Structure 1
Amino acid sequence: MFKRIDHIAFIVKDLAKSIYFYEEHFGFKKYYEHDVPVPAIEKIAYLKLGDTVLELIHMPKGPTNQGFHFCLESENFTADYTRLKNAGIPVTTEPHPTGAREPREEGWRRVVFEGLDGESIEFRG
């Protein structure tokens, strides 16, 4: 049976800018990049944060990621929120309480920021 999601993939218009964005603001690190023999896709880059992997599909003329989101868990919600807000990353949903799906999540809040290509970046903690 399956045991976990291996990676989450989405389209980016500017690969270098997106790699910098996720490394600088969210702590991901690029660990692999390759060309793709498909006309619409220029490259694919993989970034890692712990066991979480993002696959950035470089499609300069591709569609936007409207309606797509992923969620990160924060160790320090207030500090992470303040740092990203001060960096000028647009907030689409302000911080608010969120329901606990399990006991360790009691008292958590959630917030949603907008990524460079329309993706929503939620975090909870």
Structure 2
Amino acid sequence: MFKRIDHVAFIVKDRAKSINFYEEHFGFKKYYEHDVPVPTVEKIVYLKLGDTTLELIHVSTGSTNKGFHFCLESDNFDEDYTRLINAGIPVDTEPHPVGAREAREEGWRRVVFVGPDGELIEFRG
């Protein structure tokens, strides 16, 4: 039986810019990078935050991430929101209350920011 999602992957056009973005603003750390035997893909990079892994697929032309998003959990919503706003990261959806899926989520809010390649970065807390 499956036990968890191993990683989430999406396309990036500028590998260095995306690595820096996720390390600087969200606390991810690059831990692995490799070439792939596919002509359209330049490199694949893995970033880790706790038990969460992002796979950045470096494709310098073509595809987009339209409609793609992932969600992080924040332990200090207001602080994280303010920090990202002050860093000039664009907001797609302003903060608003969300229904609790389980008791620990009572009173949580969500917000959605836009990443360097159009990917949507939601966080809740």
Give the alignment's TM-score, normalised by structure 2. Answer: 0.99
Equivalent position SS for 1:6: coil
The offset of 1:103, in angstroms, is 0.1
Match of 1:84 in 2: 84
Q: Structure 1: where are the runs of 5+ without partners?
A: none
| Cα drift, residue 61 of structure 1 | 0.7
- Give the aligned partner of residue 95 of structure 2: 95
Q: Deviations over 1:31-83 (max 9, x none)?
A: 00001111000000000000000000000013110100000000100000000
Cα deviation for residue 92 of structure 1 reads 0.5
The amino acid that maps onto 2:67 is G
Q: Secondary structure at the match of 1:123?
A: strand
Structure 1 residue runs of 4+, over 4 Å off?
Answer: none
SS of the equivalent of 1:41 reads coil
Structure with higher strand content:
1
The aligned residue for residue 110 of structure 1 is 110
Question: Aligned residue pairs: how many?
Answer: 125
Query: What is the CA-CA distance between 1:25 and the residue it aligns to?
Result: 0.2
- Distance in 2, matches of 1:37 and 1:76, equals 42
Q: TM-score, normalised by structure 1?
A: 0.99
For 2:62 and 2:104, locate their aligned partners in 1 and report how far apart those are by CA, in whole Å. Answer: 39
For 2:101 and 2:110, the matched residues in 1 are separated by 13
Indicate the residue corresponding to 2:11 in structure 1. Answer: 11
RMSD: 0.4
- Aligned-partner Cα distance in 2 for 1:10–1:65: 7
Percent identity over the alignment? 82
Unpaired segments of 5 or more residues in structure 2?
Answer: none
Corresponding position: 1:27 with 2:27: yes
User: Structure 2: how far apart are the matches of 1:120 and 1:22?
Assistant: 13
Q: Distance in 1 between matches of 2:64 and 2:88?
A: 20
Corresponding position of 1:70: 70
